[in-house]
Structure 1
Amino acid sequence: MNIHDIAKISGYSSSTVSRVINNRNYVSDKARQDIQKVIKDFDYVPNDVARDLSKGKTHNIGVVLPHTKHPYYTQLVEGIMSAAFPAGYRIVMLPSKFDADVEMNYLNRLRRKAYDAIIFTSHGISLKELLKYQKYGSIVICHNPGELNIAAAYTHREESYIDAYKWIKSQNYQRISILLSRDYQISATAQKTIQAYRKTFGSEPDHRLLNTDVTTFDDGYNAAAQFHHNQYEPDIYFTNGDDIAAGVRQFYLDNDLKLPMLVGQENQLSGRILNIPTINHHFHEVGKLACELAINNEIKQLSVESEFILR
């Protein structure tokens, strides 16, 4: 049933029915009562999708994220939601697992007006492919796009990484383990982490002390166990999360081993409790900025400075 059916049954015009449904003025009491009776008798409910499309807005923003195991994603989402709710927008979570085909499906849904905008917290699809879909709605990424003209909100990490490495160097640590979420070849974050190491130490990190696919407390625990099993013990861990650093620490405690020095990231509660150095990337603020760009359909690049916190 639609408003034309209600109009036919009630004997009033479609415009009068529309005014009643939307609680507008300029409707007589009798007409309002007659129309509301038909609505009640037939249990009519307005179609929000059709109404939104008629207005050219869905007030839905899709947020593409590969997983939620790392605070990078959870903090971004918290920031996005803090900006979306006051503006009257709904957030639709779109899991991707870095699968380019899945991400392409989401872009085609943007093209079909399922969302007003899409925020990519990370992506497997190329930036050049994303650019092709900007004409269908706002697309925002959460890393530096370089010279490409696409909306972006991101944290400027390089200086905080260098500050952390300079401190590590000043303490004369030699066996520096670096824990990463993804491989250097495919991760911009991993690339910045290693580039900052090269700038600070003038050499490549020891590949025997690198470990990837580390995103959780358990991953940190297992990475420490692997190094111990290989009899190549780091004297400091530069981890990609405070919870991950806590996992490393727990392995050493469980096995009555001397604790190594730990450096975390994301300024999580675990890092504050353990009182370890960390890097605050302010991802909550990045998420807010990304959402504001999506809502306003602005093509800007906005960056937030990270900071190394020495405890």
Structure 2
Amino acid sequence: MTTIHDVAKKSGYSVSTVSRVLNQKKHVSKEARQAIESAIQALDYVPNDLARDLSQGKNFHIGIVLPHTKHPYFIEMLNGMIDCAFSTVYRLVLLPSEYDEKVEMEYLEQLRGKAFDALIFTSRGVDLDRLVDYATYGPIICSENPQRTDLQAVYLNRQEAYEEAFRWFQLKGKKDILLLLSRKYEASVTSQAVIKAYQAVFGQYPKECQIISGVTTYEEGFLLGERLARMTSVEGIMANVDDVAAGITAAYQQAKCPPPVMVGQGNQWSSQLLHFSTIDHHLYDLGYRSLEMAIGACEQTQIELCSTFIARE
């Protein structure tokens, strides 16, 4: 494989002079530049981008740790990051984790080994204390409120929007509300926020039968809707994503039953077309701002964005 030393030997100039030409530096004579460029072309030399990046103390790779892409939450965040990255020299590397702590620790070790300039945790299985420990090796951006100042974060304040949605149910006289959570209460800050908002509005903890976790797609929503359509007690549903709410609605329509009052999340096309209420979490902005922070284009160390309840009658 051709090296910079081969170019130097063929051109008759030093390695340092060849390096200045490759990096488009000044203080190189016209004759030297022409001779070196001719040698590069003759030898078909391609610079080692990785070595060049590392010589600058960076590799311009940002690792995006995400559990999966089945939930629109992560897709919308990625869209924001990708659009932000287009205007920079940074490259995004997707790091799937399935909330596996061991896998996430491997990514943190790779940050320590300079495989990435920064990591963005869109969600996590590893403890926050671990993230703080590894933040000494490079920026780590957390997508939740860490409740501490020693960790960078771009996160959502969902609480007010959730409470507004439950008050909307309440104004409609709906009390028996089914809560659909992507993850179980103990493992998810988002699930905890939903339960907290329900308690704040209705003054009590929801019954165990009111909580269902693990339903994340349209197809899973449809299967759940088929079961719910045979029940008569469900008055309202707080879905974890619009597509799940759309699947439930389709199952009710197939059973020729009026669907419960519905609130989705995500403000996707499904909620707009079916005209049910939703909560917009501004996930594109969340992803965009997260990447800005990761590459040092933002002076703030923590940014709070607020979700918005959209009522559709």
Q: Report the TM-score when normalising by structure 1.
A: 0.94
How big is the shift at 1:223?
Answer: 1.9
Maintained 8 Å contact 2:229/2:255: no
Is residue 85 of structure 2 the alignment partner of residue 90 of structure 1? Answer: no
Write the distance in 2 (CA, Å) between the matches of 1:147 and 1:201: 30
Maintained 8 Å contact 2:142/2:154: yes
Q: Which residue of 1 aligns with 2:241?
A: 241
Q: Which residue of 2 aligns with 1:207?
A: 208
How big is the shift at 1:298?
Answer: 5.7
1:48-59 map, 5 Å? 48-59=49-60
Q: Which residue of 1 aligns with 2:185?
A: 184
Write the letter of the residue equivalent to 2:185.
Y
Helix, strand or coil at the partner of 2:228: helix
How big is the shift at 1:210?
Answer: 1.7
How big is the shift at 1:185?
Answer: 1.1
Q: Which residue of 2 aligns with 1:174?
A: 175
Q: Which residue of 2 aligns with 1:294?
A: 294
How big is the shift at 1:120?
Answer: 0.2
1:119-138 map, 5 Å? 119-138=120-139
Q: Which residue of 2 aligns with 1:155?
A: 156
Structure 1 stretch displaced more, 79-88 or 213-222:
79-88
CA deviations on 1:75-132 (whole Å, 9 max, x unpaired) are 1111222222213221111111111111111111111111111000001000001111
How big is the shift at 1:287?
Answer: 1.3
Over 6 Å off, 4+ runs:
none
Q: Which residue of 2 aligns with 1:253?
A: 253
Write the distance in 2 (CA, Å) between the matches of 1:102 and 1:209: 33
Structure 1 stretch displaced more, 242-251 or 18-27:
18-27
Maintained 8 Å contact 2:229/2:257: no
Write the letter of the residue equivalent to 2:255.
N
- Stretches of structure 2 that go unaligned for 5 or more consecutive residues are none
Write the distance in 2 (CA, Å) between the matches of 1:258 and 1:56: 61
Write the distance in 2 (CA, Å) between the matches of 1:291 and 1:47: 26
Write the distance in 2 (CA, Å) between the matches of 1:55 and 1:232: 65
Structure 1 stretch displaced more, 205-214 or 25-34:
25-34
Maintained 8 Å contact 1:286/1:303: no
Helix, strand or coil at the partner of 1:185: helix
Q: Which residue of 1 aligns with 2:78?
A: 77
1:259-278 map, 5 Å? 259-278=259-278
Helix, strand or coil at the partner of 2:262: strand
Write the distance in 2 (CA, Å) between the matches of 1:5 and 1:177: 70
Helix, strand or coil at the partner of 1:178: strand
Maintained 8 Å contact 1:151/1:298: no
Maintained 8 Å contact 1:197/1:204: yes
Write the letter of the residue equivalent to 2:270.
S
CA RMSD of aligned residues (A): 1.8
Maintained 8 Å contact 1:209/1:227: no
How big is the shift at 1:29?
Answer: 4.4
Q: Which residue of 1 aligns with 2:284?
A: 284
CA deviations on 1:241-266 (whole Å, 9 max, x unpaired) are 11111010011112222222111111
CA deviations on 1:217-248 (whole Å, 9 max, x unpaired) are 1121122223346x464121110111111010
Maintained 8 Å contact 1:149/1:299: no
Is residue 50 of structure 2 the alignment partner of residue 63 of structure 1? Answer: no
Q: Report the TM-score when normalising by structure 2.
A: 0.93
Write the distance in 2 (CA, Å) between the matches of 1:199 and 1:53: 52
Write the distance in 2 (CA, Å) between the matches of 1:54 and 1:226: 60
How big is the shift at 1:27?
Answer: 3.6
Structure 1 stretch displaced more, 56-65 or 15-24:
15-24
Q: How many residues align?
A: 310
How big is the shift at 1:42?
Answer: 2.7
Helix, strand or coil at the partner of 2:94: strand
- Percent same amino acid at aligned positions? 44
How big is the shift at 1:167?
Answer: 0.9
How big is the shift at 1:160?
Answer: 0.6
Question: Is the alpha carbon distance of 1:222 and 1:233 closer, same or farther for their aligned partners in structure 2, counting shifts above 3 Å?
Answer: farther
Write the distance in 1 (CA, Å) between the matches of 2:179 and 2:134: 37
Write the letter of the residue equivalent to 1:177.
L
Question: Is the alpha carbon distance of 1:152 and 1:83 closer, same or farther for their aligned partners in structure 2, counting shifts above 3 Å?
Answer: same
Write the letter of the residue equivalent to 2:191.
A
Helix, strand or coil at the partner of 2:186: coil
